[in-house]
A and B are shown apart, each in its own frame.
Chain A
Amino acid sequence: MDKTYPLVIKNLYFNYSNTKTNAIIDSISFSVNNGQIVAIVGSSGVGKTTLIKMINGTIHPNDNKRIKGEIYIFGEEIKRLSKPQISKYMGTVFQDPDTQIIFSCVEDELAFGMENLCFPQNDMTKRIDDVLELLNIESLRYRNPNQLSGGEKQLVVIASILCLDVDIIILDEVLAQVDKKGKAKILKVLEKLKNQGKTIIMIEHDYGNLFIADSVYRLEEGKLNLFNFNGDKNETIY
Chain B
Amino acid sequence: MKSSVDPRIKIFIALCLSTSGVLFTRVDKLLVILIIGVIYGLCFNVQYFSVYKRIRRYLQLFIVIIIIQSIFNHDGQAVLTINGFALLTDEGIIRGISYLFRIYIIVLSGAILTTSNMRDILQAFIQLKLPYDIAFMVAIGIKFMPLLVEEIQNIFTSIQLRGIDINMLSIKKRIEIVSYLFMPVIMNTLVRAKKLAISVDARGFRAYNKRTSLRQLRIKHIDEVVFFVTIVVFSGCIYF
A interface residue numbers (CB < 8 A to B): 53, 56-58, 83-85, 87-88, 90-92, 94, 96, 99-100, 102-105, 107-108, 111-121, 124-125, 128, 160-161, 164
Contact = CB atoms under 8 A, between A and B. Distances in A.
Contacts of B201: 57-58, 83-84, 87
Interface residues of B, number: 26
Interface of B: 117-119, 140, 143, 192, 195-196, 198-208, 210-216
Contacts of A114: 212, 214
Contact of B206 (A53, A84, A94): A84
Nearest to A112: B203
Contacts of B118: 103-104
Contact of A116 (B143, B195, B196, B207): B207
A117 B119 contact: no
A118 B192 contact: no
Contacts of A90: 202
Nearest to B216: A121
B204 A100 contact: no
B11 to A, nearest CB: 18
A121 B213 contact: yes
Contact of B198 (A94, A112, A160, A161): A94
Contacts, number: 95
Contacts of B212: 114-115, 118-121, 124
Most buried by B among A118, A124, A164: A118
Contact of A91 (B202, B215, B216): B202
A119 B118 CA distance: 21
Contacts of A94: 195, 198-199
B119 A116 contact: no
Contact of A124 (B140, B199, B204, B214): B214
Nearest to A163: B203
A5 to B, nearest CB: 21
29 contacts: A53-B198, A56-B202, A58-B202, A83-B201, A84-B208, A87-B201, A87-B203, A87-B204, A91-B202, A99-B196, A102-B196, A102-B199, A104-B143, A105-B119, A108-B214, A111-B215, A115-B212, A115-B213, A116-B203, A116-B211, A117-B207, A118-B207, A118-B208, A119-B212, A121-B212, A121-B213, A124-B214, A128-B214, A160-B203
